[in-house]
Structure 1
């Protein structure tokens, strides 16, 4: 039987030999539970062609735990921007050991591009969108090379552009899975408790969403969990989940 590949430029081809076409996978994903979606995606739909992107932030342990239950050798892509809290790096190491994750890859900005666009390390203050592009978007684009799909931990309860997240979508020629889209804050807390997962050490200090240290702030009671990201700016995303509104030709953090 002849198969006809659906070729995404620069990515691995998704062929009709895969169990279900991409549109069928997207439809099927909407009706699956989180655990079922992860199992199907990692074992059946994209074996060897799927990765998890994790910030090792305040809610990351839940998704990483669920992925490790399916296959702890699933690649985990971690954006090491050079501007992260030391607590985040130590928390990453603790979770890797606790969950038995076998393939965690640190993605760093290109040194030459960094030296040219951000020689003083203060690009985050001048043009945060450019900083994010340089330190997060570009490294992730390189890191996803060879993967046909990726998993992330966004949730609708975060609000803003995330409030209508589907369980699966296609973005830039890849299938992007949002298995925790429908999880509430209470669901997250219950999973932490049920599986005795360690918390990010900065959470107890008032940080609800943690990225780079210059662009993360504590949140007050009743504030949106992401209110502390890029505090005082009209910026809510770093760009890896959609292009920021401003031009990024100069090259933030978070």
Structure 2
């Protein structure tokens, strides 16, 4: 496949066809194809440095440790997440990790007291996660996510490739389950996020993340009781030119 074929991603039907074509390709090979051949210099990994982020970060580092990694620091992250980020950056030799934060102007205008999460969690996510990421991925033709189908019912049909306007989202671990993630972590002796041992299989911001109970979805502890399942970065087309 040549890089010119990427234009096929203009609609989700074409993306689905390409996903079917590469369905048998393992995640590492899919990442090599995407980073080296399809989108050289035009692709980034978006990572939360969360519960199982080490798997995808390790795979990307094996392909090219200089691949841009975008990390959204909302200002409300667990200290353990920031420590885990620093640990993995050192261990994996990642050389282009870019921390992006909400703008001071947005915080002053929309969340001056830092309690927007309690009254309007969608609005809080928009200014602290969605808008900073939209600005950060401007200019990229593709980005890599760590989403998996097993994480929640809303992700059960997650494809390998998604069309996001003229940009491509790639989900190389879409078909992985929790046991495969654990095997990979063990095989490569990768460190765990310390919150996982405290029953946090999905880790976001402190005010909106709680431990998960036995039998619940991995993301059941996110925005518990608020009727919200996603922060918003995967619910539409990210564009810095829009009033997000």
TM-score, normalisation: structure 2: 0.90
- Which consecutive residues of structure 2, in runs of 5 or more, have no partner in the other structure? 237-242
CA contact (8 A) 1:53 1:77 kept: yes
Give the corresponding residue for 2:8: 23
1:31, CA displacement in angstroms? 4.1
Note the aligned Cα RMSD (angstroms). Answer: 1.9
Structure 1 CA distance, aligned partners of 2:185 and 2:79? Answer: 22
- Per the normalisation by structure 1, the TM-score is 0.87
In 2: Cα distance, 1:111 partner to 1:231 partner: 28
**Residue 97 in structure 1 maps to residue 90 in structure 2:** yes
CA contact (8 A) 1:19 1:44 kept: no
2:184 is the counterpart of 1:191: yes
Alpha-carbon distance change, 21 to 206 in structure 1, aligned in 2, over 3 angstroms:
closer
Indicate the residue corresponding to 2:219 in structure 1.
Answer: 226
Q: Is the 8 A contact 2:2 2:37 kept in 1?
A: no
Tell me, yes or no, if the aligned pair for 2:2 and 2:38 is still in contact at 8 Å: no
The structure 1 segments of at least 4 consecutive aligned residues displaced by more than 6 Å after TM superposition are none
Whose helix fraction is larger, Structure 1's or Structure 2's?
2
**How many residues of Structure 1 are paired with residues of Structure 2 in the alignment?**
231
Rounded Cα–Cα distance in structure 2 between residues aligned with 1:94 and 1:85: 15
SS at match of 2:186: helix
Deviation digits for residues 187-230 of structure 1 (CA, Å, limit 9, x no counterpart): 00100100000000111111111000000000112211111000
User: SS state of the match for residue 71, structure 2?
Assistant: strand
In 2, are the aligned partners of 1:30 and 1:168 still within 8 Å (CA)?
A: no
1:233 deviation in Å?
Answer: 1.4
Matched, 1:35 2:20: no
**In structure 2, what is the equivalent of residue 162 of structure 1?**
155
